[in-house]
């Protein structure tokens, strides 16, 4: 039976729209080498019309609101489309960091101590620093790409960060000093470990998307016990959060001899340019960008043909 056409959704309306457009461009160019693929730019957070789920599958190269919070996935399911990546519930759980961390914690996976709050009920910086005397990380509870991330090492820095909040759900976590790593999980199996080495030590939105501001080592130079422990944790997080097809799990490790690490978050629709973290991780286990894109769409094809 002939493969269906692949619609590569990209864009949407979120702070990560431009990143999504770049991911969508690269994924579509890659898939076109082996499949009938078309880039579909979304200029509103709404399922586009004119496509037949009996003839198409969707690769959602989407980031941020709508694309990653389960809304798009629920709409695709309701319309009868097979698509790549996690379903709606897992997408919501992973986008809302306190929800995914709660699931991971109940299964014994290591996460940072933290509190959740909304903009109308901000905690005082003084009380927060009594809870987290070594520093605190302030970030949105339901956004990606490190949008709005503030690392506060003093109460004054946290006061300034909290003062800039006017809306939305937020979280404060204990500052955890260590090396930062990322592991792609493909079909439930951990790929290679990427070490992220940003200038200034904070991997925020600017350093994530500014050329030359962050260095990467892959495969990362870590001990075999530490690598094995992180890969096992990545696979467990993927399973606990109900993920499917692919995701990316990010870590901070203070001491690899223990190994002593925490899981920062799990990302269900990671960046997909040839230099993004998931392709870097996948390259450690033999995938180039084209073969990775083919692998990531396999689940959508299987679900399409099983309907």
For the chain (307 residues), the mean pLDDT of every run of 10, in chain order, is 92 90 96 97 94 97 91 97 97 91 93 87 84 86 66 85 83 88 97 88 47 82 94 97 97 83 94 91 97 97 94
Distance in angstroms (rounded) separating the CA atoms of residues 9 and 219: 30
**Could you say which of 152, 174, 196 is where a domain stops?**
174
Phi, psi (5° rounding) for residue 198?
Answer: -80, 150
Condensed to tens digits (0 to 9), the pLDDT of residues 234-292 reads 999 999 999 999 999 999 998 777 778 999 999 999 999 888 999 999 999 999 999 99
Residue 144's pLDDT is 55
Condensed to tens digits (0 to 9), the pLDDT of residues 191-221 reads 999 999 977 555 444 444 445 568 899 999 9
CATH of residue 54: 3.40.50.20
**Could you say which of 134, 151, 174 is where a domain stops?**
174
Q: H or E element: which one contains 215?
A: strand 214-217
* Domains: count for the chain: 3
Dmax (CA) for the chain in angstroms is 64
Q: Chain-wide mean pLDDT for the chain?
A: 90
Q: Are 85 and 186 a contacting pair, CB within 8 Å?
A: no
- The answer to whether residues 210 and 243 belong to one domain is yes
Helix%, strand%, coil% for the chain, nearest 5: 35, 25, 40
CATH of residue 125: 3.30.1490.20
- The answer to whether residues 15 and 27 belong to one domain is yes
What is the number of other CB atoms lying within 10 angstroms of the CB of residue 219?
16
Distance in angstroms (rounded) separating the CA atoms of residues 73 and 167: 25
3-class SS at 162?
A: helix
- The answer to whether residues 170 and 276 belong to one domain is no
- The answer to whether residues 144 and 99 belong to one domain is no
Residue 147's pLDDT is 56
Contacts of 49 (CB under 8 A, 6+ apart): none
3-class SS at 125?
A: helix
Peptide bond into 266 cis (omega under 30): no
Contacts of 90 (CB under 8 A, 6+ apart): 70, 241, 242, 243, 244, 268
- The answer to whether residues 183 and 194 belong to one domain is yes
Residue 203's pLDDT is 47
- The answer to whether residues 218 and 262 belong to one domain is yes
**Could you say which of 154, 174, 194 is where a domain stops?**
174
Distance in angstroms (rounded) separating the CA atoms of residues 82 and 304: 5
Residue 205's pLDDT is 45
Query: DSSP code of 133?
Result: T
């Amino acid at each position: 039976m002939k493969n269906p056409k692949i619609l590569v959704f990209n864009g949407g309306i979120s702070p990560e729209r431009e990143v999504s457009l770049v991911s969508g461009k690269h994924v579509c160019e890659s898939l076109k080498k082996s499949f009938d693929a078309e880039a579909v730019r979304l200029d509103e957070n709404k399922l586009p019309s004119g496509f037949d789920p009996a003839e198409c599958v969707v690769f959602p190269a989407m980031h941020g609101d709508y694309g990653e919070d389960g809304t798009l996935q629920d709409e695709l399911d309701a319309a009868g489309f097979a698509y790549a990546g996690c379903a709606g519930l897992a997408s919501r759980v992973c986008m809302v960091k306190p929800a995914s961390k709660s699931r991971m914690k109940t299964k014994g996976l290591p996460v940072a101590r933290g509190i959740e709050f909304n903009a109308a009920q901000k905690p005082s910086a003084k009380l927060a620093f009594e809870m987290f005397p070594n520093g605190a990380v302030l970030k949105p509870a339901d956004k990606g790409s490190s949008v709005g991330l503030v690392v506060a090492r003093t109460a004054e820095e946290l006061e300034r960060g909290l003062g800039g909040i006017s809306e939305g759900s937020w979280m404060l976590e204990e500052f955890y000093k260590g090396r930062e790593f990322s592991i792609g999980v493909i079909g439930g199996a951990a790929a290679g470990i990427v070490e992220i080495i940003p200038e200034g030590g904070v991997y925020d939105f600017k350093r994530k998307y500014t050329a030359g501001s962050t260095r990467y080592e892959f495969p990362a130079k870590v001990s075999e016990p530490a690598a094995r422990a992180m890969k096992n944790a990545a696979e467990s997080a993927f399973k606990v959060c109900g993920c499917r097809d692919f995701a990316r799990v990010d870590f901070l490790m203070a001491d690899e001899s223990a190994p002593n690490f925490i899981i920062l978050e799990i990302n269900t629709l990671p960046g997909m340019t040839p230099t993004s973290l998931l392709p870097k991780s996948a390259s450690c286990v033999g995938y180039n960008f084209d073969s990775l894109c083919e692998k990531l769409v396999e689940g959508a094809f299987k679900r399409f043909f099983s309907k």
